Structure 1
Amino acid sequence: MERILIVDDEKNYLVVLQALLADSGYEVVTAQGGNQALALAAEEEPDLVITDMRMPQMTGVELIQRLRANFNEIPIIVMTAYGTVENAVEAMKSGASDYISKPFENTELLLTVEKALKMRRLLTQNRLLKEELQGYGEIIGDSKVMRQVYALIDKVAATRATVLLTGESGTGKELIARAIHTRSPRAEEPFVAVNCMALTETLLESELFGHEKGAFTGAAGRRKGRFEMAHGGTLFLDEVGEMSPSLQVKLLRVLQERTFERVGGNQPISVDVRIVAATNRDLAQAVEEGHFREDLFYRLNVVRIEVPPLSQRREDLPVLVAHFVKKYAAEVGRSAPQVDRQAMELIYRHAWPGNVRELENAIERAVILAGDSITPADLPLEIRPEERSAASTELPQNMSINDAVEDLERRMIVRALKEAGGVAAHAAEALGLTKSNLAYKLKKYEIG
């Protein structure tokens, strides 16, 4: 729902306009002067401002100039009872998008509002496309929290500072890491990613630092590690909080000295690598509990970017859904189906514990199953609460034992992850699984 801020010193006009625009499907906030309007604009982030031209304390022109200094994309419609060319020109020069003369017909105002909001949507789409072309990649969203993330990406990208990305699983931390790399002076050099939870300690050590021939059973020849592969570029360490204590020591040495030895070797190798690490764990708490080295934590936590969960950026749902519908429709070679109102309502109601990754999986499934439009029946069962409760006690008659066991196992993993706040290591412990076994099952069941 698009939000409109109305500014007028006449209370009667505010009441009438609020009722008219609310009945037309808009969310409306009102202010009786310029100072109150500026405070509300900062707090509410309206999609459109409608302001009177003549007001005490602060004129419409002064308000427009103040708004333009901080909210450049918000369209502003000026109302004036005087309707002269001079007033209109003054308002437009100050940054107004349009003007309307009092008294006006309701239809005239609604058409002016829709025209201004349509222009804002086009400007937003163009900016998002420009940002994507400039290096934000597949990061989608224009919410306040995501704009804060973009600002941090821009500030840190030009430096060589180590970055720590924190946040729940499925929020898109690797996309943020790629965006930092793409917008940095290292963009033409390699971006190398490694998941620290998916490998055993021995395999992860070899993966990171490489090994010499004969270093261990099966080491038939020399192999470069990810640090060497990323020389000059960026190394992304996902799930860094799951790294063993001995590997934490070796990683700390690389960060301090920018040198290492391959497994089974003794020749120092120098590297120029920018580290971006990610975790869904609270590393500060892990330090207190003795599970993570304090000195390594401070080395990684030079610049921290908290990637917001989908629950904190629900206004991005429409553009995310549209993006994934278009993406997966193209993959299966069909035109993009529409999302009907009931399906969209279910999408808005769902908590999305698996964040953007869960949403993407749900839309991929829906696109495959949908006809001309995506309906509630095309969405995963967990998004349909009334059917989920019935399905939790009933299994299809034709379901095999293996399928039933896998269905139960998947539900238990999803529940354990939710209860563990998305921390895979804690969920694995609760389920009695090893971290690598849980990682395998997460991939098997496509759980975000």
Structure 2
Amino acid sequence: MLNSVIVVDDEASIRAAVEQWLSLSGFSVQLFARAEECLAQLPDNFPGVILSDVRMPGLSGMQLLERLQQQDPGLPVILLTGHGDVPMAVEAMRNGAYDFLEKPFTPQHLMSSLGRALEKRQLVLENRRLHEQADLKAQLETTLLGMSQGLQQLRRQVLDLAGLPVNVLIRGETGSGKERVARCLHDFGPRAGKPFVALNCAAIPEALFEAELFGHESGAFTGAQGKRIGKLEYANGGTLFLDEIESMPLAQQAKLLRVIQEHKLERLGANQSIEVDLRIIAATKPDLLEEARAGRFREDLAYRLNVAELRLAPLRERREDIPLLFEHFARACAERLGRSAPAPSGAQLAQLLAHDWPGNVRELANAAERHALGLGSPDLAPVNEGQSLSDQVEAFEAQCLRAALRQHKGEIKGVMEALQLPRRTLNEKMQRHGLVREDFLEG
């Protein structure tokens, strides 16, 4: 239950009396003598109620109500007056005031009004939170494409972790989309407006690694002309994405660990520490703890980075996502060129589903772009030896159902006619593949 109340009144005696009543009743109270002070310090989505006098120097209670209605129409405002002005009360209620109390009022009357207002505020904030979650979920579904169970779980994990101030380790094969997932963790969290800095640890020569990561002062070493801000400092307030973290030199691992522990760094050639506030998302293909046991990675750093771990399944383990991704990449390429992408034939889809995709999503995107350009697909392995015929048939059937549902916008009769299936058979197949018609409805 919410219990925060802001009291705005220019009379110190009224403020003191109301604070005493509310505090004894378990409310959290904040006092202001002027409406301008309240507006300046009011946080977004304030979890409580505003209790304000009407007649005050500067902004009046009615003017405060008007400003608050513009900022947050769902914020309950209870106005107080000592003048018994009924027309003013009617106008205040018409303008959005939750209640209007005439001085002197009893504590019981005040508590009753506040209780109802706080209940309403709780419902408004909960409804707002649910809408925001639904919007984020919809945005994420268009960014991390896929209908497989693994992708659905990954999206849930990303939404859960995006708002938490913890470091994350992403494990996955080359081309599986680790940087895209890291970007989602940044974009869907509170650091979204701050820098997202990506650094591929395998692409930097060891001799330049420290300067790249920490920056340097002028003259710190031969060739260091001028001051340079390193990646860690540049990412201050935001997110640093360290791809192929297993390639980081051991000497720099020790220095990175110190930055994580102390939230401070020193540029090369400097004696002054710089405070940094950043989130680190690291990506790796091998198991960092196995690398540590082999002496190639610091075990203490591995634990610091792996507060939470996300595993990206290779494309061969989520074949049902292949047609959707192929269609997406082909359409995106065609739109860039101002042309339409031809739909893949049944034989092409079967070949796509059978291929092992060692390059994962990156390889699939290349194949889709070649298809959109009319260059044909690259040579694909005819059959994946690790997948049975029944598994391939199941994956192809799921794609056919999904394509028909999408084409007919979830209209079951159209899908039945297109696939020549009776209603009962179609229902059984949709249930087996986890398909729900509501997911394909227009709009």
TM-score with structure 1 setting the length: 0.54
- Matched letter for residue 153 of structure 2: Q
Contact 1:248 1:293 in 2 (8 A): yes
8 A Cα contact 2:263 2:277, kept in partner: yes
Residue in 1 aligned with 2:329?
324
Q: Which amino acid aligns with 1:134?
A: Q
1:134 positional shift: 3.1
Note the C-alpha offset of 1:199.
0.6
In structure 2, the residue matched to 1:381 is 379
Q: Work out whether 1:360 is the aligned partner of 2:361.
A: no
Residue 221 of structure 1 pairs with residue 221 of structure 2: no
Q: SS state of the match for residue 326, structure 1?
A: helix
SS in 1 for 2:240: strand
Q: Tell me which residue corresponds to 1:293.
A: 298
1:412 counterpart residue number: none
Distance 1:137 1:196 in 2: 29
> Given the two structures, how large is their TM-score scaled by the length of structure 2?
0.54
| Secondary structure class of the residue paired with 1:335 | coil
**1:300 offset after TM fit, Å?**
0.5
Determine helix, strand or coil for the equivalent of 2:309: strand
Give the Cα–Cα distance (whole angstroms) in 2 for the partners of residues 159 and 366 of structure 1.
41
Secondary structure of 2:272's partner?
A: coil
Is the partner of 1:236 in helix, strand or coil?
strand
Partner of 1:262: 267
CA distance in 2, matches of 1:198, 1:207: 11
Distance 1:134 1:359 in 2: 22
Look up the SS of the partner of 1:379 in the other structure. Answer: coil
Alignment of 1:14-413 (within 5 A): 134-135=139-140, 138-370=143-375, 378-383=376-381
Q: C-alpha separation between the residues in 2 aligned to 1:328 and 1:131?
A: 26
1:136 and 1:206 mapped to 2: Cα distance? Answer: 38
Paired amino acid for 2:338:
G
Q: 1:384 to 1:166 in 2, by over 3 A?
A: same
| TM-superposed deviation, 1:264 | 2.0
Q: Matched residues in 2 for 1:151 and 1:132: separation? A: 8
Deviation of 1:244 after TM superposition, in Å, equals: 0.7
Query: How many aligned residue pairs are there?
Result: 250
Shift in alpha-carbon separation, 1:264–1:137, aligned structure 2, 3 A: farther
Which whole-Å CA distance do the structure 2 matches of 1:368 and 1:336 have between them? 8
Give yes or no for contact 1:134–1:183 (8 Å, CA) kept in 2.
no
CA 1:196–1:137 in 2, change beyond 3 Å: closer, same or farther? farther
Calculate percent identity across the aligned residue pairs.
Answer: 48
Letter matched to residue 196 of structure 2 = F
Say if 1:209 and 1:184 are closer, same or farther in 2 by CA, change over 3 A.
same
Q: Deviations over 1:197-221 (max 9, x none)?
A: 0011232222211111112232211
CA offsets 1:3-53 (integer angstroms, 9 cap, x no match): xxxxxxxxxxxxxxxxxxxxxxxxxxxxxxxxxxxxxxxxxxxxxxxxxxx
The CA deviation at 1:172 is 0.3
Sort the Cα spacing of 1:265 and 1:246 in 2 relative to 1 into closer, same or farther, 3 A: same
Whichever residue aligns with residue 335 of structure 1, its letter is S
Q: For the pair shown, which has the larger CA radius of gyration, 1 or 2?
A: 2
CA contact (8 A) 1:137 1:179 kept: no
Q: Provide, for residues 201-247 of structure 1, a one-character-per-residue CA deviation record: whole Å limited to 9, x for no partner.
A: 23222221111111223221101011111111111010001111001
Contact in 2 for aligned 1:141/1:319 (Cα 8 Å): yes
Structure 1 runs of 4+ with >6 Å offset: none
Q: Once the two structures are superposed, what CA deviation does each residue of 1:62-119 show, in whole Å capped at 9, x if it has no partner?
A: xxxxxxxxxxxxxxxxxxxxxxxxxxxxxxxxxxxxxxxxxxxxxxxxxxxxxxxxxx
Q: What is the distance in 1 between the residues matched to 2:228 and 2:175?
A: 31
1:325–1:301 Cα change, 3 Å: same
- Structure 1's unaligned 5+ residue stretches are 1-128, 371-377, 386-448
Letter in 2 for 1:183: F
Distance of 2:135 and 2:342 partners within structure 1 = 25
Distance of 2:289 and 2:210 partners within structure 1: 24
Residue deviations 1:119-172 (CA, integer Å, cap 9, x gap): xxxxxxxxxx96576346632112101111111111111111000001111110
User: Whole-Å Cα distance in 2 between the matches of residues 245 and 310 of structure 1?
Assistant: 32
Is the 8 Å Cα contact of residues 210 and 252 (structure 2) preserved in structure 1? Answer: yes
SS in 2 for 1:339: coil
CA distance in 1, matches of 2:305, 2:147: 28
What are the residue-to-residue correspondences of 1:408-447 with 2, within 5 Å? none
